C-alpha cells in the first residue's frame, strides 16, 4: 500500500512542477524570474504564486486517517531557496494557516501548520547563502528537514500514539522522496536565469562586432581631410587631429557601459567637426540640449547623427540646405533624445526591417543602436519618415 502512496504523491509532485513550469513560461512571470534583483512588486507577485501553489498542494493531497499527504512543503521551500524569506515566509504562514482552518478536525492540522511556518523561515535563511549550482541539493535537504519536523510533531502532538505511528509509517517515505520536486522547481528557474545570461552574452558579443563595423572608411576620410588642411590651415588641422583623437578614444573605450551623456556628446561633436571640415561646412547642425546628468549607453547618439548625415543630407542635390537637429530634453522621469534631419528620408522598408529584427543593408549603426536600447530599456528607437527627412527618437532613464 505504501508503494501506492509513493507513486500517487510523485504524480502530485509532478503536477505541481509542471504547473510551475507553465507559469514560468508566461511572459509576465518569465520577465520577473529573469531579473537579477527583485523589487517589492516582483516579490509580491512571486509570493502570490507560491502561496497559491502551496494551497493547491493541500487541496490536491491524499487523505489518510486524519492526515493529508501533500506537496505544500515542496513549494514553500522552493520559494525560499529561489527567492528568499519575503516569498517563503508568507507562503509558509498563509498556506499553513489555510491547512489548519480548512481541515480543523484533522489530527495533523497543528503539526502541519507549525512545520509549514518552519519551512518558510528555514528555507528563507538559505537564500543567497548558497551557490546557485547547489540550490537544488540544499533545497531538497531543507525540504526533508522540514518534513521530518512534521513527522516529529505528529508523534509528539497526535493521539492515540498507535494511529500517529501508523500515519508516520505510511507517509514518511513518500514525503521524503517527494522532496525531489524541489530540485525540479529550482532547475526550472536556474534554466531561465542561464538562458537569460546566455542571450545577454550573445547580444553583447553581437553588439561589439557590429560596433566595430560602423563606417570603417571614416578614419581614412578624416586623415585625408586633415592632410589637406595641413598646407593652408595648420591650426584647423591641429583642431581636427584633436577631434579625431577624441572620436577614436570613445570608440576604443567602447565596452557597452553607461557613461555620462555629456561625455557622449563630446564624441558626437568631434565626429561632426570632422564631417563639417570634410564637406566644407555643407552641414548645418542645430543643438537643443537641456542640462542633464543622466548616464546612457556609450556610442548611442553618434551612429544616429552619422546616419542622418551620410544617408539623409549628403545624397541631397543641394547639401547646403541640409540640417541636422540634435535634441536632448528633460521630461518628468525620462530624458528624450531625438535626431531630426531634412534630408531624403528613410525608406519605409528599412524601418520595418529594423522593427522586425532584420538588419537592413548599410544600416548597421542604426540597427545596432536599436538593439542595444532594447537590451537596456526594453524599448528601441522610434523612427518616423517625415514629409522631408527623418526623425529618430528614444528615451532613457536612470
The pLDDT of residue 360 is 66
Answer whether 50's CB lies under 8 Å from 94's CB.
no
The closest of 173, 154, 174, 172 to 164, measured between CA atoms, is: 154
CATH assignment of the domain containing 39:
1.10.1760.20
Q: Are residues 237 and 181 in the same domain?
A: no
88, 150: one domain: yes
Coil vs helix vs strand at 318: coil
Q: Are residues 304 and 345 in the same domain?
A: yes
In the chain, the number of structural domains is 2
Pair (154, 8) in one structural domain: yes
Considering the domain architecture, whether residues 26 and 170 belong to the same structural domain is answered as yes
Do 166 and 277 sit in the same domain of this protein?
no
From 203, 234, 261, the end of a domain falls on: 203
Residue with cell 502570490: 48
pLDDT of residue 27: 81
Residue at a domain's end among 203, 234, 249: 203
Q: Is there a single domain that holds both residue 228 and residue 102?
A: no
pLDDT at 257: 73
Residue burial 136-165, b: 16+ Cβ < 10 Å; e: rest: bebbbbbbbbbbebbbebbeeebeeeeebe
Distance in angstroms (rounded) separating the CA atoms of residues 358 and 373: 16
In angstroms, the CA 109 to CA 105 distance is 8
Of 146, 174, 203, at which residue does a domain stop? Answer: 203
**Whole-angstrom Cα distance, residue 346 to residue 304?**
12
End-to-end Cα separation, the chain, in angstroms: 61
Q: Where are the beta strands (DSSP E) in the chain?
A: 62-64, 67-69, 258-260, 284-289, 295-297, 323-330, 335-341, 382-385, 390-396
pLDDT for the residue numbered 272: 93
Domain that holds residue 40: 2-203
Residues 164 and 261 in one domain: no
| CATH number, residue 239 | 3.30.565.10
Burial class (CB in 10 A: 0-12, 13-18, 19+), 356: exposed
Say what the pLDDT of residue 121 is: 95
Q: Which residue ranges in the chain fall short of pLDDT 70?
A: 1-3, 201-216, 254-256, 319, 360-362
Whether residues 137 and 216 share a domain: the answer is no
Question: DSSP state, 134?
Answer: G
Q: Are residues 164 and 44 in the same domain?
A: yes
Residues 272, 153 share a domain: no
pTM: 0.60
pLDDT value for 254? 63
Using CA atoms, how far apart are residues 386 and 50, in angstroms rounded to an integer? Answer: 50
* Listed residue (392, 357, 358, 394) closest to 373, CA to CA: 394
Alpha carbon distance 18, 12 (integer Å): 10
| Distance (Å, whole) CA 296 – CA 286 | 21
Residues 389 and 276 grouped into a single domain: yes
Q: Which of 250, 367, 384 is nearest to 312 (CA)?
A: 384
Is 366 exposed, middle or buried (CB count within 10 Å of its CB: 0-12, 13-18, 19+)? buried
Amino acid at each position: 500500500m505504501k508503494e501506492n502512496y509513493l507513486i500517487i504523491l510523485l504524480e502530485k509532485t509532478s503536477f505541481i512542477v509542471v504547473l510551475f513550469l507553465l507559469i514560468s513560461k508566461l511572459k509576465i512571470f518569465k520577465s520577473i524570474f529573469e531579473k537579477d534583483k527583485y523589487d517589492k512588486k516582483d516579490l509580491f507577485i512571486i509570493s502570490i504564486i507560491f502561496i497559491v501553489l502551496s494551497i493547491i498542494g493541500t487541496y490536491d493531497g491524499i487523505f489518510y486517517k486524519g492526515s493529508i499527504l501533500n506537496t505544500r512543503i515542496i513549494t514553500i521551500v522552493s520559494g525560499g531557496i529561489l527567492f528568499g524569506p519575503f516569498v517563503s515566509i508568507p507562503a509558509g504562514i498563509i498556506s499553513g494557516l489555510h491547512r489548519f482552518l480548512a481541515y480543523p478536525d484533522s489530527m495533523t492540522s497543528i503539526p502541519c501548520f507549525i512545520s509549514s511556518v518552519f519551512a518558510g523561515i528555514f528555507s528563507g535563511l538559505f537564500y543567497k547563502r548558497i551557490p546557485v549550482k547547489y540550490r537544488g541539493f540544499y533545497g531538497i535537504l531543507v525540504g526533508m528537514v522540514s518534513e521530518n519536523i512534521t513527522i516529529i510533531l505528529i508523534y509528539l502532538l497526535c493521539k492515540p500514539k498507535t494511529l500517529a505511528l501508523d500515519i508516520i509509517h505510511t507517509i514518511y517515505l513518500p514525503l521524503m522522496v517527494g522532496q525531489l520536486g524541489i530540485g525540479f522547481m529550482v532547475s526550472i528557474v536556474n534554466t531561465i536565469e542561464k538562458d537569460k545570461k546566455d542571450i545577454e552574452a550573445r547580444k553583447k558579443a553581437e553588439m561589439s562586432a557590429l560596433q566595430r563595423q560602423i563606417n570603417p572608411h571614416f578614419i581614412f576620410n578624416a586623415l585625408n581631410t586633415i592632410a589637406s588642411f595641413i598646407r593652408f590651415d595648420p591650426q584647423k588641422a591641429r583642431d581636427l587631429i584633436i577631434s579625431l583623437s577624441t572620436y577614436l578614444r570613445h570608440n576604443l573605450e567602447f565596452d557597452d557601459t553607461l557613461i555620462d551623456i555629456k561625455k557622449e556628446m563630446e564624441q558626437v561633436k568631434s565626429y561632426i567637426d570632422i564631417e563639417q571640415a570634410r564637406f566644407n561646412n555643407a552641414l548645418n547642425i542645430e543643438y537643443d540640449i537641456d542640462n542633464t546628468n543622466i548616464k546612457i549607453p556609450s556610442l548611442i547618439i553618434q551612429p544616429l547623427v552619422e546616419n542622418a548625415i551620410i544617408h539623409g543630407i549628403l545624397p541631397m542635390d543641394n547639401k547646403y540646405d541640409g540640417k541636422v537637429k540634435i535634441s536632448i530634453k528633460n521630461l518628468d522621469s525620462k530624458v528624450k533624445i531625438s535626431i531630426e534631419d531634412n534630408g531624403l528620408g528613410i525608406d519605409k522598408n528599412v524601418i520595418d526591417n529594423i522593427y522586425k529584427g532584420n538588419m537592413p543593408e548599410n544600416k548597421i549603426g542604426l540597427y545596432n543602436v536599436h538593439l542595444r536600447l532594447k537590451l537596456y530599456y526594453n524599448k528601441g528607437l522610434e523612427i518616423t519618415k517625415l514629409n522631408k527627412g527623418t526623425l529618430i527618437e528614444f528615451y532613457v532613464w536612470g
